[in-house]
Amino acid sequence: MVHTPHSEVIVIGGGIIGSAITYYVAKAGLDVTVIEKGDLASGTSSRCDGGILAIDKDPGFDSQMSLISQKLIREISGELKLPFEYHSRGSLLVCETEEEMAAAEKWVKQQKKAGLAFRMLDRQDIKQESTFLADDLLGGLECATDSMVNPYLLTYALFDKAQEFGAKILTHTEVTGIKKDAGGSFRIETPKGELTAKKVVNAAGVWAPRIGEMAGIDIPILPRKGHILVASRQEPVGERMVMEFGYLLSKFGGERKVDPETEKYGVALVFEPTESQNFLIGSSRQFVGFDSTVDRNAIRVMARRAIRFFPRMSDMNMIRTYTGFRPWTEDHLPIVSEVRELPGFYIAAGHEGDGISLAAVTGRLISELILEKSDTIIPAEPLRYDRFTKERGGVLL
Ligand SMILES: Cc1cc2nc3c(=O)[nH]c(=O)nc-3n(C[C@H](O)[C@H](O)[C@H](O)COP(=O)(O)OP(=O)(O)OC[C@H]3O[C@@H](n4cnc5c(N)ncnc54)[C@H](O)[C@@H]3O)c2cc1C
């Protein structure tokens, strides 16, 4: 008889979310196996920026959740063996108009009231931030607790530590089917054979709906494409992440006063310095299915936007571009939840543009849900899967 490998927990997906879950579940002493169809971090987690941000989160639950995730990353940074280019220097949003300055003041007030380390910046602060920033910027705001990581390295560092705690990792192994047997165990089918587990976590990012289909679960996540431009190595342009205030509107779907092309591609400036001085310029936001081709027009609009905020970039060389898919949900919050209709099946996906920021808190929360802890690190209610099923008529089968 062929032996079927069994684990207490199987995590499907080897991105940043899968890595954080595996780390916390293995650390808690559970026997966990990860199944990844390609290499680790071969999905969105290697096609993004590395901001661990609260600056762009809705004041309230969203920003509190980010703040906790930032604290967890700080904790973890002292524990992981592999370096992941962690820098905690804060980040800023810059304003072009008086209207944006007024909105920024409101945003700062709300965030400060919620206990976050926000402050307004004036023209002089912006000048001091970087000599490369445009002279006509009116000011902006800063969130002091924000940090940056290399998301690819963080994914590997978390998996590395999880392996030390006993986690097993199967790469180049695609999950092709999921069944629940009479004994209550899940049977996970792959072209390399079957595995069984008591509990399964779907951490497949934009592919989570496909994994859901295999289990008869309708998961409302769509791919929201983003482009990034990578600069050649050169003198430091700035030390921290800089975004334009309009980024908030672009993220949350508000009305912006920009030209039709910038609006069409959902372009808003994101500048991220990297440790090797190949700074990143982002980004765009589009719903175009799973078309990952680089759109030259989107890149042109992004470059134009970057030069508006950093005029001297017009003389700098860009060496490559790439695209990634943000796992988008309608209410901009991820699904981090057990599926009531299918006990033992968990979803940890739908983090849109916040998966790097929220990986640690997601991993910790899923480990606590699996361990059936009543006192979780953040309230689990707002992230429940059934907030969508109530409206949508629920599961497929
Ligand atoms: C341009 C851009 C900029 C961004 N910037 C930031 C930022 O600054 N800060 C931030 O917090 N977030 C950012 N994000 C968002 C962040 O990148 C994502 O939220 C995050 O990477 C999602 O991680 P994940 O693990 O859920 O998905 P993924 O990294 O895609 O991992 C899912 C994994 O599941 C695997 N998989 C799929 N199907 C199967 C199967 N059948 N069997 C086995 N394995 C399977 C895939 O191969 C993949 O590796 C950005 C995203 C983009 C596109």
Whether ligand 1 lies within 6 angstroms of the CB of 13 is answered as yes
User: CA–CA separation, 114 vs 342, rounded Å?
Assistant: 36
Confidence at residue 256, expressed as pLDDT on a 0 to 100 scale: 78
CA 19 to ligand 1: nearest atom: 25
Mutation probe of ligand 1 site: the residue of 326, 352, 357 with most atoms within 8 A of C-beta: 326
In the prediction, which pLDDT does 394 show? 47
Query: Could you tell me the distance, in angstroms and rounded to a whole number, from the CA of residue 5 to the centre of ligand 1?
Result: 27
Q: What are phi and psi of 30, to 5 degrees?
A: -85, 155
pLDDT of residue 392: 52
Q: How far is the CA of 356 from the centre of ligand 1 (A)?
A: 8
Whether ligand 1 lies within 6 angstroms of the CB of 147 is answered as: no
Question: Ligand 1: does its nearest atom lie under 6 Å from the Cβ of 334?
Answer: no
User: Residue 18: what residue type?
Assistant: G
pTM of the model: 0.96
Phi/psi of residue 113, nearest 5 degrees: -60, -35
| Other beta carbons within 10 Å of 182 | 5
Structure tokens of 214?
């295999």
Distance between CA 272 and CA 93 in Å, rounded? Answer: 12
> Which CATH number is 91-144+222-328's, of 3.40.640.10, 3.20.20.70, 3.30.9.10, 2.40.30.10?
3.30.9.10
The pLDDT value recorded for residue 389 is: 83
Task: Round to whole Å and give the CA distance between 351 and 296.
Answer: 27
For residue 148, the SS3 value is strand
Q: Helix axis angle, 16-27 relative to 151-164, nearest 10°?
A: 20
Residue 26: φ, ψ to 5°: -70, -40
Q: How far is CA 17 from the centre of its chain?
A: 8
pLDDT of residue 265: 95
3-state helix, strand, coil in the chain (%, to 5): 35, 25, 40
Q: In CATH terms, is domain 6-47+152-221+331-392 a member of 3.50.50.60?
A: yes
Q: Give the residue extent of every domain in the chain.
A: 6-47+152-221+331-392, 91-144+222-328
Question: Element (H or E) spanning 159, and its range?
Answer: helix 151-164
How confident is the prediction along the chain (397 residues), in pLDDT tens digits per residue? 468 899 999 999 999 999 999 999 999 999 999 999 999 999 999 999 999 999 999 889 999 999 999 999 999 999 999 999 999 999 999 999 998 999 999 999 999 999 999 999 999 999 999 999 999 999 999 999 999 999 999 999 999 999 999 999 999 999 999 999 988 999 999 999 999 999 999 999 999 999 999 999 999 999 999 999 999 998 899 999 999 998 787 666 667 788 999 999 999 999 999 999 899 999 999 999 999 999 999 999 999 999 999 999 999 999 999 999 999 999 999 999 999 999 999 999 999 999 999 999 999 999 999 999 999 999 999 999 999 986 555 444 3
